[in-house]
Structure 1
Amino acid sequence: MEEGPGAIPHGGDLGAARRLFPEAPEPWIDLSTGINPVPYPLPPFEASALHRLPSPDDLGRLKAAAADAYGAPDADHVAAAPGTQILIETLPRLVPKSHVAVVGPTYAEHAAAWTRGGHAVEVVPDLAGAAGAGVVVAVSPNNPDGRIFSSCDLRRAVAPGGLVVLDQAFADLEEMPPAAPAPGLVVLRSFGKTFGLAGLRLGFALAEPALARRLEAALGPWAVSGPAIAAGVIALPDAGWRREAAAARGHDAARLDRMILRAGGRVIGGTRLFRTATFDDGPGLFRRLGEAGLYVRRFPERPNDLRFGLPLDKAAWCRLSRVLK
């Protein structure tokens, strides 16, 4: 959403796009998020996933699948949640008031959540600026510039006894080792972005067992829905699909880079699921894209920068190509 006093802009709000460009052709092509445009091919759910409350055994199977997929020692190191956003919001309420350094620019909800939690928050440009903070928050790969931060470097930056929050929402399809939970380190992982199923709302925190239990207790019982549990148990063990998706989205990202370069843009970062580029006239290109029914992510503080998600099909690629030419 991009409207309302103090609102944090997010991608995916086609209602806002239609209000900005009421004459644009339908259907809109939403390139404003970093969600895999090709979703995991889920089989039909059993009716019981909708008819009954999830059991502790159901949740245990999901957490075991997540531990295997993300490199956690076991299910006790996993807290399951209805998306990582609620974990971002919950963590600051469980940590003593502290000086928090958020390495940015990045996903704005991190700084906002720690501020709402009563912490003293500073957005810093690099790890040198985070040195000595009681809590260090970093997104790796970062949104929107794709920077990579190692958990070892982050843990060296934080004050002794402090906490590192490492958001690896975009890590699944990248060539980078998973960060395992450790004392003083919480790793956030997003299911929906990787598997193209963001509407299910499923995410995980990998943490020491005591903190994982505190997170789940704060979320309350039945926080994760039956359909989300069923989807996670099926999709998370499918390493073959993830490898194929990583290769395919890598080809798509390279194709998008070539189109951006032909349009006079310069790619300044990204992942296999999105590319961020700067243009001589970013606002003008945003307008031309919007008038053609293509919604990309803009940054009011950096008006010449635009972030492009990946088109789904030939028609979407062709419409984008026509505007960028």
Structure 2
Amino acid sequence: MAGDLQRDDGYDTSALRHHGDVDAEPGLLDFAVNVQGVAPPGWLRERLAATLDGLARYPSATHDEAARAAVARRHGRRPDEVLVLAGSAEGFALLPALRPRLACVVHPGFTEPEAALRGAGVPVTRVHTEEADGHRLRPADVPAEADLVVVGNPTNPTGVLHPASAIRALARPGRVLVVDEAFADALPGEPESLAAAGDVPGLLVLRSLTKTWALAGLRAGYALAAPDLLARLAAPRPQWPVGTIALEAVIACSEPTAVAQAQRAAEGLVAARAGQAAALAAVDGVTVLPGAAPYLLLRLPDGSGERVRGELRAAGVAVRRGDTFPGLCADHLRVAVRPPEQVARLVEALEKALDKVLHEIEVPA
């Protein structure tokens, strides 16, 4: 369903700037952030540590070229079709440099692109996918006049994986099509990815390395697009925008052995996700919405979400609130896929929280 045009004038973007790291305070069992693991694997830590002795020197063009070449080999692209970023979030922050006349953001979805566009005074319209329709993307709902469109695949927070054909249907002459593939490498075989699709006009794919490799504190990612589009995107960047350690991370995580390791991890996540979904669906009052990503979107009974979140926090469990995602409400929660022993703790806390909150709703004080 196409959304109404919502311009920037006086718009409060504070909710759009809320992310899971705010929910995951130290000491809480973290289901709010979608990073896998608590630290990078040992081989990657050693690889990054080896760069420390060179930090007295500025990041070099040669190092950047090596990073772009590694990404290009990984996706079957040319090095000039790669832009190394300080995390994919930097790519969203750069979108206003493309000077769109009207941006369209598909929601529910990652909110940082809209926040960046609105903050720069770009008119934004929203297109909402519908829960009753499985949050399926309908390309016809996107206004024809939108010259920049942003969509996630798989989408955060719904976890829905859209067919590549539906994404391709959004492309048209004069339009930049931004596809957020931050979680694409968490799916075995990276189905429906357009990272290698150099034939789609105006396509800009953004990738993150922070989720699979536990590098959220480093900020490492990249963009894939035609060279002229990347040049426009990069125009406002400062000198040396990506540090030496992040450049090395991009190289290391793009090498065949690392890609194979990510594939194995993704295969493990499929089984873990299925088990976690079944355990949560067995909790009375919890609906687990369909998805494929390494997180699950839950819907709780009407009016219970905010209080349940509070009870979970009191029990030492952090989950991602849903009401800061356009199109969702306080009764939606997003939870990361975690090991079974942690899932058991979440299930126990959720059962107790729902029992208490629903009793209070039925029998007001």
Tell me if TM exceeds 0.5.
yes
- The answer as to 2:275 corresponding to 1:267 is no
| Corresponding residue for residue 31 of structure 1 | 31
After superposition, the Cα gap between the structure-2 partners of 1:213 and 1:151, relative to the gap in structure 1 and judged at 3 Å, is farther
- CA distance in 1 between counterparts of 2:168 and 2:182 reads 19
1:50 is the counterpart of 2:55: yes
1:100 maps onto 2:100 in alignment: no
Q: Where does residue 207 of structure 2 map in the other structure?
A: 189
5 Å matches for 1:1-325?
A: 6-7=14-15, 8-13=17-22, 27-37=27-37, 39-41=39-41, 42-44=44-46, 45-46=49-50, 47-69=52-74, 71-95=75-99, 97-125=100-128, 126-132=138-144, 133-175=146-188, 176-179=191-194, 180-181=197-198, 182-237=200-255, 238-264=258-284, 265-280=286-301, 281-300=304-323, 301-311=328-338, 314=341, 316-325=342-351
Give unmatched runs, 5+ long, in structure 2. 1-11, 129-137, 352-365
**Which residue identity does 2:322 align to in structure 1?**
F
RMSD (Å) for aligned C-alpha atoms: 2.3
Letter in 2 for 1:157: L
Please give the alpha-carbon distance, in whole angstroms, between the structure 2 residues aligned to 1:49 and 1:312.
37
Cα distance in 1 for partners of 2:340, 2:60 equals: 39
Q: Distance in 1 between matches of 2:54 and 2:271?
A: 36
Any conservation in 2 of the 1:49–1:230 contact (CA below 8 Å)?
no
Does the CA contact (< 8 Å) of 1:142 and 1:148 recur in 2?
Answer: yes
Q: Tell me how far apart the structure 1 counterparts of residues 209 and 82 of structure 2 sit (CA, whole Å).
A: 13
Distance 2:18 2:319 in 1: 12
TM-score by length of 1: 0.87
Worse-superposed segment, 113-122 or 73-82: 113-122
**Identical-pair percentage:** 30
Kindly provide the amino acid, as one letter, of the partner of residue 142 in structure 1.
Answer: T
Over 3 Å counting, the alpha-carbon distance change for 1:101 and 1:57 in structure 2 is same
1:157-176 CA distance string (max 9 Å, x none)? 35532111111111112241
What is the rounded CA distance, in whole Å, between the counterparts of 1:135 and 1:5 in structure 2?
19
Q: Distance in 1 between matches of 2:168 and 2:278?
A: 37
Q: How much does 1:247 deviate? A: 1.3
Distance 1:302 1:12 in 2: 19
Write the letter of the residue equivalent to 1:185.
L
Which amino acid in 1 is paired with 2:283? Answer: A
Change (3 A) 1:88 1:308: same
Q: 1:30 to 1:75 in 2, by over 3 A?
A: same
Distance 2:31 2:159 in 1: 17
What SS class does the counterpart of residue 310 from structure 2 fall into? helix
The change in CA–CA distance for 1:287 and 1:250 in structure 2 (over 3 A counts) is: same
TM-score, normalised relative to structure 2: 0.78
Kindly tell me: are residues 260 and 163 of structure 1, through their superposed partners in 2, closer, same or farther at Cα, counting changes over 3 Å?
same
**How many pairs were matched up?**
310
Q: Is the 8 A contact 1:311 1:317 kept in 2?
A: yes
Q: SS of the counterpart of 1:68?
A: helix
Q: Distance in 1 between matches of 2:207 and 2:268?
A: 21
Paired AA for residue 206 in structure 2: L
Tell me if the contact between 2:171 and 2:201 (Cα under 8 Å) persists in the aligned partners.
no
SS at match of 1:285: helix
